[in-house]
Amino acid sequence: MQIALIPARGGSKRIPRKNIRPFSGRPMIGWPIAAARASGLFDHVVVSTDDDEIAEIARDQGAEVPFMRPDRLADDFTPAREVIVDAVESMEKITGRQVDHLCCIYATAAFVQPGDLQQARAQLDRLAETGFVFAAAAYPHPVHRALVDTPGTGVGMLFPDHAGTRSQDLPEAFHDAGMFYWGRRDAFVSRTPMFNPDSRPYLMPRRRAVDIDTPEDWDFAEALFGLQGQGWC
């Protein structure tokens, strides 16, 4: 059994009710639900939430909410891995089937497309059992040339050894895009670290790797989304 899991707790603080706030014509959570469903990859597209309103909207958008997340896994400090393990165990108990592969997709991943999920899933097949595939994006400038402004000492290079290195001679660096994470059941349940030697990034175009943490982020993301459109819909 292959499932998509979308964690969506009700207590977001920086942007209240972020998971279900309208974003370009539908509740935010509706976009990753739609992408997961359109990918054709999943036996179940599941939302894990502690919030009745989120559950209702998730169902309206086409997801399943076959269990409610316990309060102990719904605070500001709950690791995502514990939510995933709870979902795996709950789905196996409910369906009587074992989860083989799982893709955890964040509820604010409005820019994810079915093709991203399909291509990343294909990458996973080429990895060792402990490997994960995660959405990532390249930094626009070599991080080895980063500057810091330290009180008392002023501006300096974060990596002084590369002060004279040409940017074209530095390796490309990337960051976790905070969108989705593919893995096998046992790697998730055994709490294997996500970023390990067997894991690989699925590189997203930077124009679709948008982190939404503040109201300003939200406005920028919605404007960018409107410019790009979602041709797969």
> What is 2-137+175-228's CATH superfamily?
Spore Coat Polysaccharide Biosynthesis Protein SpsA; Chain A (3.90.550.10)
Q: Please state the rounded mean pLDDT for residues 94-121.
A: 96
pLDDT at 161: 82
Contact between 19 and 29 (Cβ < 8 Å)? yes
Q: Which of 24-28, 155-159, 163-167 has the highest mean pLDDT?
A: 24-28
Average pLDDT, the chain: 91
pLDDT at 163: 78
Assess whether pLDDT exceeds 90 at residue 84: yes
Assess whether pLDDT exceeds 70 at residue 122: yes
Distance CA 39, CA 162 (A): 43
Whole-prediction pTM value?
0.91
Distance CA 233, CA 231 (A): 6
81 vs 154, residue with greater confidence = 81
Q: Per 3-state DSSP, what percentage of the chain is helix, strand, and coil (rounded to 5)?
A: 35, 20, 45
